[in-house]
């Protein structure tokens, strides 16, 4: 793992989301232009992001995939500029071509929502580069993942996610990625009904017992909107942050390695408050 990502902070690392897509569920293409995405990434750094996750493919339910050339054109210029500015950058991609170009442009993490299932060659790219690899629990692409939200076996969703992530870890190791470069993500909302996401959040220990750092991404997701629904329907995307911060604080108490968020300032503020309640004087690192 990159040295800066391995140093204990006493809190989860805050991964700021930089979507370079025209169809993101969370910002609707607000930062689709590279210049806008770079400016947004720099703003997130100023707000206290520990690393930036740059993605060029929307994974919202029902999304269609861009061409490889489109994804490359979206993310590589942004990653190059943010890395040159001193940011630790993660590329959010399922494709080996994009992972390779992103690492060459300065990224140090490959955040693969498919855990290598969509494109197994991405594991070879990560191994050859010595990069950190985030493997998320995944069962199918966005256009059909809802069909796979079934967890009827013993132990329910927690047991299934643990078992399937452990299978991915074995494949990742076999490709040559070192254990200390593997981070796991339970994949909240991916091929999961809202109840499944809440069940995973209530019982993170079995996932942590797999022996790898854990990244949790709950920000703005639909299971929060469902929780807060009223007669008008699910709570809109931009009005879910208070519920999300409750999740951030709870997973911080559980000792997760990182949280993937859209609103970096709010997450850092909440973590600073948590640190203040734990100690008489928060350290400089705890402050946003």
Q: What residues act catalytically? A: 221, 260
Residues of the chain by 3-state class (helix, strand, coil), percent to 5 = 45, 15, 40
Q: Is the CB of residue 93 less than 8 Å from the CB of residue 66? A: no
Give the helix/strand (H/E) hosting 261. Answer: strand 258-261
Contact call for residues 53 and 90 (beta carbons, < 8 A): yes
Sequence-distant (6+) residues with CB within 8 A of 155 are: none
d(CA 127, CA 103): 12
In this structure, the number of other CB atoms found within 10 A of the CB of residue 20 comes to 28
How far apart, in whole angstroms, are the C-alpha atoms of residue 8 and residue 13? 9
By the 8 A CB rule, do 262 and 40 touch?
Answer: no
- 171-200 burial by CB neighbour count: b if 16+ within 10 A, else e? ebeebebeeebbbbbbbbbbbbbbebbbbb
Q: Of 213, 269, 278, which is closest to residue 244 (Cα–Cα)?
A: 269
Give the integer Cα–Cα distance in Å for 83 and 86.
5
């Amino acid at each position: 793992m990159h040295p800066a990502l391995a140093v204990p902070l006493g809190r989860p690392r805050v991964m700021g989301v930089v979507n370079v897509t025209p169809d993101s569920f969370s910002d609707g293409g607000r930062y689709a232009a590279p210049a806008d995405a770079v400016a947004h990434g720099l703003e997130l750094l100023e707000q206290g992001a520990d690393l930036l996750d740059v993605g060029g493919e929307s994974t919202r339910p029902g999304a269609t995939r861009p061409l490889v050339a489109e994804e490359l054109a979206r993310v590589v210029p942004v990653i190059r500029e943010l890395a040159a500015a001193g940011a630790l950058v993660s590329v959010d991609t399922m494709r080996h071509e994009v992972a390779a170009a992103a690492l060459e442009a300065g990224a140090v993490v490959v955040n693969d929502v498919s855990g290598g299932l969509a494109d197994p060659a991405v594991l070879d790219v990560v191994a050859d580069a010595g990069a950190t690899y985030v493997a998320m629990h995944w069962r199918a692409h966005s256009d059909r993942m809802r069909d796979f939200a079934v967890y009827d076996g013993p132990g329910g969703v927690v047991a299934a996610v643990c078992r399937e992530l452990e299978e991915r870890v074995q494949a990742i190791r076999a490709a040559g990625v070192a254990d200390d470069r593997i981070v796991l993500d339970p994949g909240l909302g991916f091929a999961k009904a809202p109840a499944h996401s809440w069940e995973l959040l209530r019982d993170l220990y079995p996932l942590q017992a797999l022996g790898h750092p854990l990244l949790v991404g709950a920000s703005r997701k639909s299971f929060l909107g469902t929780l807060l629904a009223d007669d008008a329907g699910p709570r809109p995307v931009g009005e879910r942050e208070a519920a999300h911060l409750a999740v951030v604080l709870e997973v911080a108490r559980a000792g997760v390695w990182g949280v993937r968020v859209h609103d970096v300032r709010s997450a850092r503020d909440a973590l600073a408050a948590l640190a203040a309640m734990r100690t008489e004087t928060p350290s400089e690192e705890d402050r946003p």
